[in-house]
Amino acid sequence: MITFGYALRRLGASVLMLLVLTLLTFALYRAIPANPAGFLVDLSPGAPHSPAAIAKAEKTLGVDRPIWEQYALYLWRLAHGDLGIAFQGTRAVPLSNQRTGQAVGPAVVHAAMVTGSVVVGGALFALLLSVPLGAVAASRPRSLTDRTILVVSLIGICTHPLVVALLLQQFPGRRWGLVPPGNYCPFFGTSQPGPFDFSTLTRAASCGGPTAWASHLILPWITFALFFLAIYTRLVRVRMIEVMDEPFIRTAAAKGASRSRVVRHHALRNALGPVLTLVGMDVGLALGIALYIESVYRLPGLGLTTLGALSGGAGYDLPMILGVVLVIGVVIVTVNFAIDLAVLWMDPRAAQAGARRSVVGRIA
C-alpha cells in the first residue's frame, strides 16, 4: 500500500531533485563566457556601446548581483509561481530598471502542450500496437510469426529516428503530398501565420482545430511510435514468455480457461507491470526522441524552444532554459509516480517487492 508517509518522502525527494536541476542549470550559466547584457545591447565589435549602457543592461536583466543572490531570487519568485521573463527579445522599460518581454511560464506551458501532443499520441500508438504484437510473438516462440516480428523490431531499433523522420517528411510529406510535411496546428484556437519565407515567397497559413492538429501530427506520431514500438514489442515478448512459464498459467489452463482468456486475463496483467515501470524510466528517452521530431517537422515544443534559447545571438537564455528544465523535471517525477500507482493497481505484489528497477539504455 502507498502510505501517506511514502508519498511525502517521494514528494520531498522530487523537490530536492528539481532544486538540484535548477542549481546545475545556474552553474552552467555561470560557466559560459558570453555576457547576457548582449540581449539588450549590441556587443558585437564595432557596435556603439558604452560601459554605462552595459552596466545598465546588466542591472535591468538582474545579472549584476552575485550568482547566489540571483539563484535565491529565482527560487523566491518560483515559489510564487513566477518563472520570469525570457532574455531573448526582451526590452528595457524606459526610465526604470524593469523590462518587458515574453513570460517564460505561459511560453513553456504552450511548448509542453506541443511536445505532449507528440509524445502522448505516439506513445499510445506504440503501446497499443506493441502489446498485441509482443503477445502474438510470445505465444509461439521461434515460429515464423515470432521471427518476423523480431527481425522487424530489430530493424526498428537500429534505425535512427532522424532517418525515419527525414524519409517520411521527404516522401509521403513532400514528394507525394499525402500528409502535411511539418508545422504545428493547435488543437484549440488558431496559430499565428508563419514568418515570410523569402525562398518560396510564401508564409505558412494560420491553422487550427482538431482535424488540422491531427493531420499535422500524423508523421510525428508515426516516427515516434516506430522507434518505441520496436523496443516495447521485444520487451513485452520477453516478459510474456517468462510469465507463460509460471505455475499460475498452467493452473488457469488446467481449470479450463480458453487460451485467449489465459493470455489476456492471466498473462498480460502480470507481464505488463514491469513494462509500465520501464515506460516511466523511458520518459527522458522519449523527450530526446521528441527533440529530433520537433526539429525535423518544426513543431514549437520544448526541444525546439531549448534549441532556440541556446542558439540565439547573445547565447544562453537562462530563464527560458530553467523553465524548460523545470517542466521536464516535473513531468518525469509525475509520470513515474502515476506509473507506480498504476503498477500497484495492476499487480499488488509489487508493494511487497518494492519498486523494480532495471535499466534499458538506448539513445538520448
Q: Which residues bind another protein (CB under 8 A)?
A: 17, 20-21, 25, 28-29, 31-33, 154-155, 157-160, 162-163, 166-167, 170-171, 174-175, 181, 197, 199-200, 281, 283-285, 287-288, 291-292, 295-296, 298, 303-304, 306-308, 310-311, 315-316, 321, 328-329, 332, 336, 359, 361-364
Q: How far apart are CA 262 and CA 144, in angstroms?
A: 22
Largest CA distance in the chain: 87
CB of 313 to another protein, least distance (A): 11
Report the residue number, 159 or 206, with the smaller CB distance to another protein.
Answer: 159
Residue spans of beta strands (DSSP E) within the chain: 91-92, 99-100
Instruction: Count the neighbouring beta carbons within 10 Å of the beta carbon of residue 126.
Output: 23
Q: How far apart are CA 342 and CA 253, in angstroms?
A: 27
Nearest residue to 315 via CA among 93, 46, 86: 86
CB of 134 to another protein, least distance (A): 18
Q: How far apart are CA 187 and CA 216, in angstroms?
A: 11
Report the residue number, 25 or 70, with the smaller CB distance to another protein.
Answer: 25
- HSE, CB side, 13 Å, CA atoms: give it for residue 47: 11
CB of 194 to another protein, least distance (A): 12
CB of 319 to another protein, least distance (A): 14
Sequence-distant (6+) residues with CB within 8 A of 119 are 224, 286, 287, 290
Report the residue number, 253 or 295, with the smaller CB distance to another protein.
Answer: 295
Report the residue number, 53 or 152, with the smaller CB distance to another protein.
Answer: 152
Q: How far apart are CA 334 and CA 313, in angstroms?
A: 35
CB of 115 to another protein, least distance (A): 11
Q: How far apart are CA 301 and CA 308, in angstroms?
A: 11
CB of 279 to another protein, least distance (A): 13
Report the residue number, 294 or 347, with the smaller CB distance to another protein.
Answer: 294
Report the residue number, 221 or 227, with the smaller CB distance to another protein.
Answer: 227
In our burial notation (b when 16+ CB lie closer than 10 A, e otherwise), range 56-69 reads bbbebbbbbeeeee
Report the residue number, 28 or 124, with the smaller CB distance to another protein.
Answer: 28
CB of 210 to another protein, least distance (A): 26
CB of 213 to another protein, least distance (A): 21
CA distances for 285 relative to 115, 192, 258, angstroms: 13, 31, 38
Report the residue number, 267 or 320, with the smaller CB distance to another protein.
Answer: 320
As a residue count, the chain comes to 364
